[in-house]
Structure 1
């Protein structure tokens, strides 16, 4: 299958998806699928790869291909700032696939614009246009465990992370082993809404209802006994939000 990645890179699907465990860094709201384990490793990889990260810390999604094989090497996606309501994930069954770029070259890949995560945090879906939530993707390419690229009209227009609570972490650290607690899944969905527009705007404007929701979630995370590693990741972000905007 041929797809377009970013603003013009043609790629062909392969039978070799990435095997790395996804890391959902909640502090910086980024999904990392890569072999490297720190920012220095990410920087070293730049000299060995090509793709959409045209300079360090650019505002693109990071899709990197190996210079020698042109095979997909790593991914870093960023959760957009706007949360929307949407129907449950739909569309074709995920097809496990790697990607091989047709040519060596740099390209742009703007970050997605909107995301949806249901109440149970079954999946986190990010798309370049809110209108795409009303359409089924033409294909779902499973390029890593629980990570799908969403293809519309031949172009990659978003991505999805299944069971995002499972991969919760801080920075480049490996996620905790074992499945998340049901309470963690609920809290993750609430936290994603609290740190994104439009709800975070109401927090910054000292809206009483928004602040009540914020404090309820903070208390629930602080008092949660099970799955403490993941709860601590969420609590650190929520408590910082309170510190930053408390009057």
Structure 2
């Protein structure tokens, strides 16, 4: 099951979030970017340590660039793409501060125009679940075109599991969706299983807080209720957290391009 189309994240909504602007008129300004942890994802760090990231690397849906910066610091040649100009601007700044070189650019992940046959490794750290099913098909097909024979894909997306009672706020992806989409577009799955994704509690809010009316009106009732439940579950474990970081339930997929 994916997020209802009436509440699907968009390039515009992400760009507003990265600029610190309200998503809709009448909503409050965001208090932060929930996935901005100012470091590479721990699961990616482990993956790199295993030596499976090779050749030309594509970080697709790179956001603020911390994964790409980390990989570049480890000597990898990295191209990092995102649909949000605001995200790419900040990512370039973080790379400059870290003293590393990354090829950042704004791109539509469902098209990947101009990147045919470029990459040996692809990292998708929480992009797939932001797309509707039709765009997921186009996206995975585009990754096939953008990669070389033998390329590897490492994909991380929301699952329907839970970590300490905390569930994905939106857009959990079923195993059947992943298997059907990847195999239909030239990828063979080597491993699919549960993992976690580190996020910032910034922006979760308190369980007793009501969503602003302007926001609630943009959401289907089931999506609004799901977000309220996430807030309540977050409040239940907030005192046990080390700082403002928490783990969310994810699925990890390791696949290779079928030549």
- TM > 0.5 fold call: no
Instruction: Tell me which of the two structures has the higher relative contact order, counting C-alpha pairs closer than 8 angstroms and 6 or more residues apart.
Output: 2
Higher helix share: 2
Q: TM-score, normalised by structure 2?
A: 0.30
Q: TM-score, normalised by structure 1?
A: 0.31
